[in-house]
């Protein structure tokens, strides 16, 4: 039996997990929460094998979510189930400790199969948005310039494309503004741009804005 915790801010998604996964004999949904704060108490005091979470949460960045879950139990597998762009975010987040990155376009059966494979075989998994899983990825091989970004640089990029200022990003990530600038300069170097407008256009071309 695989013990599962689900974190998603959307009530319809949380309801969908109850409806579609509760009847599977190899899965047990122990807890469903809208945020990490609501789930962390359960994770600390109950057996949990897999955490499935939306990437975009109000209370935590995805990297901080991975770190907090792993600090409670490093054996827990984290899967992001999200509408965010796989080509941009999947490899950096798996480098940070996630095991899977799945699109919300897939059907429930594929999601359940991914959970089973990740738990049983410790694979790295994404999907190509047509219900086929890509198994045991080489997470050290960038697929484009965005794949060269570190997990924290990807987070900072997401906040920049959402219109956040340096001070807001620093507050959300609990870092200082100089560190935000360091990440920004690293992104610009890796993406081969020289100003914020070009950085914005790169993000726009990847449908980040």
For the chain, give the percent of residues with pLDDT over 90. 47
Give 26's pLDDT tier (boundaries 50, 70, 90): very high
pLDDT of res. 191 = 84
Give 54's pLDDT tier (boundaries 50, 70, 90): very high
What is the residue extent of each domain of the chain? 2-135, 145-205
| CA atoms of 194 and 50, how far apart (whole Å) | 41
Q: Are 46 and 167 in contact (CB under 8 A)?
A: no
CATH, domain range 145-205: 1.10.10.10
* E strands in the chain: 2-7, 27-33, 50-53, 77-82, 100-103, 125-127, 133-135
CATH homologous superfamily of 2-135: Response regulator (3.40.50.2300)
Is pLDDT above 70 for 6?
yes
Mean per-residue pLDDT over the chain, rounded: 88
Rounded to an integer, the average pLDDT of 5-31 is 90
| CA atoms of 93 and 83, how far apart (whole Å) | 14
**Widest CA span in the chain:** 54
Rounded to an integer, the average pLDDT of 168-192 is 88
The tens digit of pLDDT for each residue in 134-145 reads: 998 888 776 667
User: Comparing C-alpha atoms, which of 119, 121, 125 is closest to residue 137?
Assistant: 125
Is pLDDT above 70 for 19?
yes
Is pLDDT above 60 for 207?
no
The tens digit of pLDDT for each residue in 94-121 reads: 989 999 999 998 988 899 999 999 999 9
Tokens of 40: 């962390």
């Amino acid at each position: 039996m695989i013990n599962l915790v689900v974190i998603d801010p959307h009530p319809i998604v949380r309801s969908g997990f109850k409806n579609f996964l509760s009847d599977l004999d190899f899965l047990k949904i122990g807890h469903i929460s809208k945020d990490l704060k609501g789930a962390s108490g359960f994770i600390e005091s109950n057996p949990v094998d897999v955490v499935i979470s939306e990437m975009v949460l109000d209370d935590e960045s995805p990297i901080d979510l991975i770190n907090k879950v792993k600090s409670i139990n490093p054996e827990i597998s984290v899967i992001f189930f999200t509408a965010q762009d796989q080509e941009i975010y999947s490899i950096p987040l798996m480098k940070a400790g996630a095991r899977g990155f799945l699109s919300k376009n897939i059907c429930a059966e594929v999601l359940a199969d991914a959970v089973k494979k990740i738990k049983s075989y410790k694979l790295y998994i994404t999907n190509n948005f047509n219900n086929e899983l890509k198994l045991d990825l080489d997470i050290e091989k960038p697929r484009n310039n965005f794949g060269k970004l570190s997990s924290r640089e990807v987070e900072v990029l997401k906040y920049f494309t959402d219109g956040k200022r340096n001070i807001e990003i620093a507050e959300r990530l609990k870092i200082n503004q100089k560190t935000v600038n360091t990440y920004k300069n690293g992104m610009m170097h890796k993406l081969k741009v020289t100003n914020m407008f070009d950085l914005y256009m790169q993000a726009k071309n990847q449908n980040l804005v």
